[in-house]
Chains A and B, each alone.
Chain A
């Protein structure tokens, strides 16, 4: 027996003594509440955590210090004492002009980065005048059809001085190209551009379901983008590997952790198979997690994610550059945790979730607005959401010290357990041959659907509480004032698109699309011809459709219920 084991044995016996002599008589007097002590994801939680829960773990190896592998305590040595997280509210609705106004409003109110929400037709690579776009134009985000709309979206915003996040996936290559083209017009060199394009197609098949092409050609496009940006747009984050939507689709926290990292492993593998050096592109992969309502589970998830990614990068891919090892992440509070009933309660939920994101060590944060389960957020509710994170950052004191929960018996042991459970999933996915195959077999989709169904049942039976929905329902009043998108947005957008089509240089447009298809058929990188096509004012759908004969169209297989 080593000395350490001896100590642990002493502690374990102290705990047994306490259980027998102190706890047991107390429980006779006052038994524990008759509820399941589980996280929102159904992980059972113990009554108390003590040093023996961490027995056999080496704290210097597993926990370490911030800015050092395995980054459990944070990726920067100074964390929020150096600079607090970037407050990045996702915004977009109506026309490019409407959203440009919201962007300027947010920048004027202290926001430090932009984040663009596109409408559904745009996310699916459809123009505003496509029949499938009926009723959807500008509703859930901004409608962008051609470079002209993108020029309007960023009018008066110097791209060399803001960092911009664009939440777009299936047609992401078109939007990267449009952003580059706007930069060219503003005279900003590509090297100066900072931002992120979500570009995470794997989670689309798993959760968000906005796809165009099948997985294999989609991975080729993404690899082309990584290749191009590594050489030409070095400060651009080429993929934001996203657990957010996986969680919103109803996964557990462990599934979110596991599937997100498994997606990340697939992208790294694809880059390596392209012949890129891992340390050339891995530093530009970033992550995007959900912050749900179960406070400690979320904190543990973020801490486990950093540790796991660091070790995958070191052990599986042999990365040598510390910047390849660090998992940088954006966090958004959980839209699916908010309720339409008593919507002002959502401010409180968002506060808890924002605190968890901060204590989990996020690099940037979007806090949801109280009215998001009812409609797009109003300006008033967006302001409250931004103020919520400003209060967390500047009043609550949680930014005074780094990783305040590090060393907590509970948080460390929960971090360990989530890591182990996530590894089990990743081993299963590896055994299938990786995430692309797992998706083709419907594996993550089925796991998530089962978890979502289980949670709904728990709400229905009252096993889990949702305040205002299945408990404390008195006081459900009328909804707050909602933002409404007028039908004119759709008509005006279609008019603008048709005007661009009439005005543009038809010859240049035709040649650009022709060259693009030729590049797609060859093994050439398609980013340069897409860039030329957007410069020629080809629309999003014209570009995406031109590639369909080469890449095919994705159809979801039989959906397991």
Chain B
């Protein structure tokens, strides 16, 4: 049985791009919807994101990438989670990510990719259905 409890999420900005408009809107909408949110701030490495995620014991990680480096940074994050035996943390993301890349990332283990035009409600609904508190 999964213990009932609040879902904890880390919203992260990896890479060098400073476009935090989307990440902050999503973080705020998720917080308003009742999730516990840890926002990393800008310019984080996948290593720091994973370390923070483990330390904060989160159930899901949402990454925002608008720099075009998504094919480098998502796989790196997934690899690090696997190394730490934490592949049960749900990884999702958003940004300017072409469909073709989105398919590849989903095959690699990113559970959802949200592109511009997604409503905050869609993200909230998706998280409700797909992220549950992990067995602790």
Contact yes or no, B24 A375, CB < 8 A: no
B106-135 CB contacts (< 8 Å) to partner A: 115-117, 119-121
Q: How far, in angstroms, from A340 to B102 measured CA to CA in the complex?
A: 14
Is A217 at the interface (CB under 8 A from chain B)?
no
Contact yes or no, B68 A136, CB < 8 A: yes
Interface size class of A (residues with CB under 8 A): 35 or more
Q: Which residues of A contact B119 (CB under 8 A)?
A: 459-460, 470
Q: Which residues of B contact A556 (CB under 8 A)?
A: 41-42
10 tightest CB-CB pairs across the interface, nearest first? A135-B72, A209-B18, A135-B69, A139-B68, A120-B16, A469-B117, A460-B119, A561-B28, A136-B69, A340-B116
Taking A339-B116, A374-B96, A561-B37 as given, write out 8 further A-B residue pairs in contact, using a Cβ cutoff of 8 Å, ordered by the A residue number.
Answer: A131-B45, A135-B68, A136-B67, A140-B68, A209-B42, A210-B18, A456-B120, A479-B99
Partner of A120 from B17, B21, B45, B115 at Cβ < 8 Å: B17
Q: How far, in angstroms, from A132 to B25 measured CA to CA in the complex?
A: 25
Task: Give 19 CB contacts A-B under 8 Å.
Answer: A120-B15, A123-B16, A132-B43, A133-B16, A136-B72, A140-B17, A209-B18, A340-B115, A341-B117, A373-B116, A374-B98, A376-B68, A449-B21, A452-B25, A456-B29, A479-B99, A556-B42, A561-B28, A561-B37
Contact yes or no, A559 B41, CB < 8 A: yes
Partner of A250 from B21, B71, B76 at Cβ < 8 Å: B21
**Contact mask for chain B residues 63-99; partner A; CB cutoff 8 A; 1 contact, 0 none:** 0000111111100100000000000000000001011
Contact yes or no, A208 B117, CB < 8 A: no
Partner of A561 from B16, B31, B43, B73 at Cβ < 8 Å: B31
Contact yes or no, B18 A561, CB < 8 A: no
Interface size class of B (residues with CB under 8 A): 35 or more
Is A416 at the interface (CB under 8 A from chain B)?
no
**Contact mask for chain A residues 427-453; partner B; CB cutoff 8 A; 1 contact, 0 none:** 000000000000000000000010011
Q: Which residues of B contact A375 (CB under 8 A)?
A: 68, 96, 98
Inter-chain contact total with CB atoms closer than 8 Å: 110
Q: How far, in angstroms, from A474 to B67 measured CA to CA in the complex?
A: 29
Taking the closest CB of chain B, its distance from the CB of A465, in whole angstroms, is 13
**Contact mask for chain B residues 21-35; partner A; CB cutoff 8 A; 1 contact, 0 none:** 100110111010000
Taking the closest CB of chain B, its distance from the CB of A439, in whole angstroms, is 14
Is B20 at the interface (CB under 8 A from chain A)?
yes
Taking the closest CB of chain A, its distance from the CB of B17, in whole angstroms, is 6
Is A248 at the interface (CB under 8 A from chain B)?
yes
Contact yes or no, A126 B16, CB < 8 A: yes
Q: Which residues of A contact B16 (CB under 8 A)?
A: 120-121, 123-124, 126, 132-133, 136, 210
Taking the closest CB of chain B, its distance from the CB of A43, in whole angstroms, is 21
Q: Which residues of A contact B67 (CB under 8 A)?
A: 120, 135-136, 139-140
Q: How far, in angstroms, from A139 to B99 measured CA to CA in the complex?
A: 17
Taking the closest CB of chain A, its distance from the CB of B121, in whole angstroms, is 6
Is A352 at the interface (CB under 8 A from chain B)?
no
Q: How far, in angstroms, from A250 to B24 measured CA to CA in the complex?
A: 11
Taking the closest CB of chain A, its distance from the CB of B117, in whole angstroms, is 4
Taking the closest CB of chain B, its distance from the CB of A136, in whole angstroms, is 5
Taking the closest CB of chain B, its distance from the CB of A433, in whole angstroms, is 25
